[in-house]
Amino acid sequence: MKYFGTDGFRGRANEGLDVEHAYKIGRFVGWYYGARQAKKARVILGKDTRRSSYMFESALVSGLVASGADAYMLHVIPTPGVSFEVVDGAFDCGVMITASHNPYTDNGIKLVNREGFKMDEDVLELIEDYIDGKTEVPLATGDAIGCTVDYMQGRNRYISHLIASCGFSLQGLKIGLDCANGSASSVARPVFDALGAETHVINNAPNGFNINVDCGSTHIDQLQRFVVQNGLDVGFAYDGDADRCLAVDERGHVVDGDLILYVCGCYMAKHGRLAKQTVVPTVMSNFGFFRALDAAGISYEKTAVGDKNVYACMRQNGYTLGISGAWYSIAGSFYFIALALFAKLIRNNMPGDSVPIYLQKRFDTKTSRLYSYAWIVYGFLYIPYQLKTVASIIQIAIPGLNITLAMLIGLTIAVIYTSFSGMRGMSAVGRIVCFGIYILLIAFVLMTLPKFGGFTVMLSELPAEYSSMGNMP
């Protein structure tokens, strides 16, 4: 499609996406779900905290009421809140104004249908035709003109729904939240406070320009330091519209999406809340994750990467828990709730400081030692192959260099990188050193490419199946 991608209509505010686009989207949606069917449409709108979101909200509302629809404004709310309210309030469709994790200069318009899912592509194509002037939509007149409704009660109902869905207490847990100065600023803390947690929040003072700036899930290092410095049990970092999240354990280590999905899936299965005893990961989840699910008796249905594919699978099969891509987005009916469950479980069931210590507490000392020894042996077997590869690249980049010296340089780079990248919280010095090593490696690659005739020639030598997603680990 010309304008709408997997995440809606995105672009720089008033450049790729402008108020005229927003007004026309409102005009068509208001007519399509209303006057076209000889009724008055009810459309709900939410937004994130970008300065331009208020501008686009006004344009969308103007278009909606001009076509005869009533526009219900939720104001600042997470994207899942719009999906929830569309269904809960029996609205014809919903609109979310956000560019997610992108900078404040960007914005976007996401459309959801009456079931709370992404709007069907055939409808989006009709909207694009209207934007391009291929079709016309009549203006409403007289008492057919729509009205606007300040619908703050909808956001309050969403918060109440999240709290009521839990059925447990987080009393005694210290939880850190990084709201990215975005949509989570209005929702996250009330949920965790109501569940009894001792909540510590950062980056929850949006000013229209600071959304996602050195904070949130795209800058997880700030939450890592915050959790460790304040002795918290767990931390969650959201993106701009709070439909994605990363977790941090009590040691400041990032907990990836596979572990979050595993913990939440096990809990929900144990309590009979996991539909069909099945979770929905993507093909990018690792082999160990699938082995762990098998051991826990939980089924899984893998999809291609992308929340669109995860949602489609969940919707078609009635599943309630899935995870999408590298952002580790918990999808389905347990959004914040699943994260709260994770916080409770990570404290109760995995109190160790590391995997070996966890294994020692849950099993025995021999098991934890075996795990550690296995990694040491693995390192001795695997590192020489990696070192030989790096040394070969260095030799090509620096003609005349013997293999011993090349391997020594490669080993030095590896030791420096490992030492600094492993520093708790990643200090400024650590980041600078690691960044410098990245630049050095890129320079080596660029110096090496001409030896093979350039990037294009090198790619032409690769087999066709090299870039196939199905062959990825």
Annotated catalytic residues are: 100
For the record, the structure tokens of 47 come out as 């937004």
For the record, the structure tokens of 206 come out as 């949006």
Q: What is the DSSP string of 107-163?
A: EEEEEE-TTSSBPPHHHHHHHHHHHTTSS--PPP-GGGS--EEE-HHHHHHHHHHHH
Strands 174-178 and 278-279: unpaired
**DSSP 8-state class, residue 260:** H
Phi, psi torsion values for 181, nearest 5 degrees = 55, 35
**Which run of H or of E encompasses 336?**
helix 335-348
Distance CA 257, CA 237 (A): 13
**DSSP 8-state class, residue 256:** P
Residue tagged 């899912």 (tokens) = 117
End-to-end CA distance of the chain: 31
Closest to 238 measured CA to CA, from 98, 52, 424: 98
CB 220 within 8 A of CB 190: no
Closest to 97 measured CA to CA, from 13, 5, 153, 206: 13
Distance CA 275, CA 318 (A): 7
Torsion of CA 428, 429, 435, 439, to 10 degrees: 150
Distance CA 356, CA 457 (A): 46
